[in-house]
Amino acid sequence: MQVDIFGEHVVVQGYIEANSAPIQKMKRVVDNVCGLKRKVRDITDILSVVKKNEILLSRKSFRKASGYLGYEQLEFDLGENLTSSSNAYLAPSLSNLEIPLQISSLFSGAGIMDLSFLEAGFDVVFALELDKDAVETYRHNIGSHVIQGDITKIDKSRIVKAPIMIGGSPCQGLSNSNRYTNYLDNPNNLLLKHFIDSIKNNKNCKVFVLENVPRILTAGEGKFKDEIFNVLSDFEITAGIMSSADMGSAQARERAIFIGSKIGKIELPAPLLKPEEYKTVREAFKGLHDTIPNQRHVSKPKKVTLERMSAVPPGGNVFSIPDNIRPKGQHSDMYKRLEWDKPSVTIVNPRKSCILHPEEDRILSVRECARLFDVSDNFEFKGKLSSMQQQIANAVPVRLMRSVAEAIKTSIQRFNDALTNFNGLQLV
User: Measured between alpha carbons, how far is residue 189 from residues 169, 182, 183, 185, 212 in Å?
Assistant: 9, 10, 7, 7, 12
In percent, the amount of the chain with pLDDT more than 70 equals 75
* 364/185: higher pLDDT: 364
Strands 123-129 and 102-106: parallel
pLDDT value for 426 = 42
CA 207 to centroid of chain Cα atoms: 9
Residue 379 has pLDDT above 50, yes or no: yes
User: Measured between alpha carbons, how far is residue 254 from residues 191, 229, 249, 266, 331 in Å?
Assistant: 21, 21, 11, 20, 18
* Of 20-29, 314-323, 331-340, 406-415, minimum mean pLDDT range: 20-29
Helices (H), 291-397: 303-310, 350-353, 366-372, 385-393
pLDDT value for 252 = 97
* Of 46-60, 135-149, 317-331, minimum mean pLDDT range: 46-60
Run of H or E residues at 10? strand 9-17
Give the Cα separation of 296 and 95 in Å (integer): 52
Give the Cα separation of 207 and 235 in Å (integer): 8
pLDDT value for 38 = 41
| CATH class, 102-276+394-414 region | alpha beta
Mean pLDDT over the full length of the chain: 84
* Of 4-8, 270-274, 357-361, 363-367, minimum mean pLDDT range: 4-8
Residue 185 has pLDDT above 50, yes or no: yes
Residue 254 has pLDDT above 70, yes or no: yes
pLDDT value for 398 = 98
Do 398 and 141 meet the contact criterion of CB atoms below 8 Å apart? no
What's the pLDDT band for 330 if we cut at 50, 70, 90?
confident
Four-CA torsion 172, 175, 177, 180, nearest 10 degrees: 90
Q: Describe the chain by its helix, strand, coil percentages, rounded to 5.
A: 40, 15, 45
Give the Cα separation of 96 and 26 in Å (integer): 34
Most confident of 20-29, 64-73, 96-105, 137-146: 137-146
What's the pLDDT band for 69 if we cut at 50, 70, 90?
very low
Type of residue numbered 275: P
Run of H or E residues at 27? helix 23-32
Mean pLDDT value of segment 49-64:
60
Name the 3-class secondary structure at 220.
Answer: coil
The per-residue pLDDT for range 118-137, each reduced to its tens digit, is 999 999 999 999 999 999 99
The per-residue pLDDT for range 75-122, each reduced to its tens digit, is 333 333 333 334 444 555 555 678 999 999 999 999 999 999 999 999
Strand order in the sheet with 49-58: 2-6, 9-17, 49-58
- Give the residue extent of every domain in the chain: 2-97, 102-276+394-414
Mean pLDDT value of segment 222-244:
96
Name the 3-class secondary structure at 188.
Answer: helix
The per-residue pLDDT for range 154-168, each reduced to its tens digit, is 988 899 999 999 999
* 25/69: higher pLDDT: 25
Task: Indicate the pTM of the whole model.
Answer: 0.78
What's the pLDDT band for 50 if we cut at 50, 70, 90?
confident
Residue 245 has pLDDT above 80, yes or no: yes
pLDDT value for 113 = 98
Name the 3-class secondary structure at 313.
Answer: coil
Instruction: Indicate if the alpha-carbon torsion angle 206, 400, 371, 386 is positive or negative.
Output: positive
Question: Of 317, 316, 295, 271, which Cα lies nearest the Cα of 375?
Answer: 295
Question: Of 131, 114, 112, which Cα lies nearest the Cα of 386?
Answer: 131
The full DSSP string for 289-310 is -TTSTTTT--PPPPHHHHHHHH
pLDDT value for 63 = 56
The per-residue pLDDT for range 260-300, each reduced to its tens digit, is 999 999 999 999 999 999 999 999 999 999 999 999 999 99
Q: Greatest CA separation found in the chain?
A: 94
Strands 9-17 and 49-58: antiparallel
Type of residue numbered 35: G
